[in-house]
Amino acid sequence: MGMDRFVFHIDVNSAFLSWEASRRVAMGEPDLRLIPSCIGGDPKKRTGIVVAKSIPAKKYGITTGEPMSQALRKCPNLVVVPGDFKLYTKCSKAFKAICQEYTPAMESFSIDEVFLDMTGMELIYPDLIATAHQIKDRIREELGFTVNVGIGRNKLCAKMASDFEKPDKVHTLFPEEIPEKMWPLDVGELFTCGKSSAERLRKEGIRTIGDLAHADVVFLQRLLGEKSGWHLHLFANGVDDSPVTEEQEEAKGYSTETTVEEDLVDLESIHQLMLAQADVLAARLRADGAKCGCVGVTYRTIEWKNRSHQRKLSDPTDVTEEIVKVAGELMEEGWNREPLRLVGISLTEIDRSGMEQMSFFVDERQERLKKLDSAIDSIRGRFGNASVQRASVAAFGRNVGRKAKAQMEERNGKN
């Protein structure tokens, strides 16, 4: 039936840190990869989180996603470097350009990961493992950073394999290797088995991926939900039919959220922040020739309680003022006046039909607002392309809050 496939998963080792380190090495500076170091928030302010870490940093028990303050307690000498998304975008493109040379069937999975479908290329690459080594070595020699390559019969196995020993390694995970290489691993290591699922499974005595592979599917579905249970069971057995897709899907939603330095306690300042956020999102909609049919707000209280409210629109829009009006109403209706540390807006039900709405009369106000927004877009043009912003981990600790203020000031300056 379906052809047997060969899939590569290529993953840049500690991408942000590697990219920063390779730039510094090229400029004759010390190699961050050889010392305890990380990309993260401003250590002086002790805010933000660890976004990427060196292997020496890992030896201190530092983990990705943990607060900087905690990481610094584990390793006071930790060298902390702020993020630089311009650099990451450049390195990502160079990395993917090399990968793309080996097959047209490449899927960009994230800024630092690709899948390659190498099926049916035996004549060009008779030894796929040698080809994997070649790709890896070329990237290291030409670009100055290392990757791991995982090889499997499907994306799941390729991805699991690329996660084995790091850095600068090629691993395979073929069906006959699954019991030996994957089943002994902790359940939490399985792709899409996150903290919550792993915890539930462990409570039931399911500790390894092998345990999961042999567990009863119906039991798993009752424990984790119908789809999650089913999928995790398939994954644990190395089963995955999802194709390597070349073209990336259009976004189904646009969202932004901002953690503020000082808690928000009044509607006025919340409104101002949301105006800045809606302005950015609406510009992205227009840049993509899209409109949204649903507006949502998200917020987080100082007690870390998350809330969200959303509402469908009677007519899809790409107008800042329309979005912020709905967002303001949602916030007013739902917010119980607890101080907020985070506020965000999400736009969903994206409509790309691009067709102007048929109508016998033109809504004067809407036209006026659209012209205003277009003017704002052209001013914004010099700040560069929205996709860079989208890809960015937009705020590294020290910019949090400052960014919110800057957004508001920029917006205010225009009025």
Partner DNA sequence: CTCGGCATCCTAT
Partner DNA sequence: CTAACGATAGGATGCCGAG
Binding site for DNA (CB under 7 A): 41, 46-49, 51, 64-65, 67-70, 73, 109-113, 191-198, 224-229, 249, 251-259, 294, 296, 304, 306-312, 334, 342, 344, 346, 389-390, 393-395, 397, 400, 403
The distance of closest approach from Cβ of residue 135 to DNA in the complex, given in angstroms and rounded to an integer, is 19
* Dist. CA 380–CA 394, nearest whole Å: 17
> By C-beta, is 263 or 367 nearer to DNA?
263
> By C-beta, is 131 or 292 nearer to DNA?
292
DSSP category for residue 125: -
Sign of CA dihedral 264, 267, 268, 273: positive
Catalytic center residues: 113
> By C-beta, is 109 or 125 nearer to DNA?
109
Cα 374 versus chain centre, distance: 29
The distance of closest approach from Cβ of residue 357 to DNA in the complex, given in angstroms and rounded to an integer, is 18
The distance of closest approach from Cβ of residue 263 to DNA in the complex, given in angstroms and rounded to an integer, is 11
> By C-beta, is 131 or 244 nearer to DNA?
244
> Are the C-beta atoms of 269 and 342 separated by less than 8 Å?
no
Strands (E), 146-205: 147-152, 170-173
DSSP category for residue 229: H
Strand order in the sheet with 7-12: 106-110, 113-117, 7-12, 147-152, 170-173
> By C-beta, is 131 or 404 nearer to DNA?
404
> By C-beta, is 308 or 412 nearer to DNA?
308
Sign of CA dihedral 237, 241, 244, 250: negative
The distance of closest approach from Cβ of residue 379 to DNA in the complex, given in angstroms and rounded to an integer, is 20
How much of the chain is helix, strand and coil, in % rounded to 5?
Answer: 45, 20, 35
- Enumerate helices (H) and strands (E) in the chain, giving the number of each: 16, 12
The distance of closest approach from Cβ of residue 125 to DNA in the complex, given in angstroms and rounded to an integer, is 26
b/e burial code for range 306-342 (CB count within 10 A of at least 16 → b): eeebbeebeebbbbbbbbbebbbebbeeebeeeebbb
* Dist. CA 157–CA 111, nearest whole Å: 20
The distance of closest approach from Cβ of residue 345 to DNA in the complex, given in angstroms and rounded to an integer, is 9
* Overall residue count recorded for the chain in this entry: 415
**Among 377, 376, 217, which residue's Cα sits nearest to residue 288?**
377
The distance of closest approach from Cβ of residue 228 to DNA in the complex, given in angstroms and rounded to an integer, is 4
φ/ψ (deg, to 5) at 228:
-60, -45
* Dist. CA 196–CA 173, nearest whole Å: 26
Helix (H) / strand (E) containing 80: strand 79-81
Spatial neighbors of 8 by CB under 8 A, at least 6 apart, are: 115, 116, 118, 128, 132, 135, 149, 150, 151, 158
> By C-beta, is 18 or 258 nearer to DNA?
258
The distance of closest approach from Cβ of residue 71 to DNA in the complex, given in angstroms and rounded to an integer, is 10
> By C-beta, is 134 or 202 nearer to DNA?
202
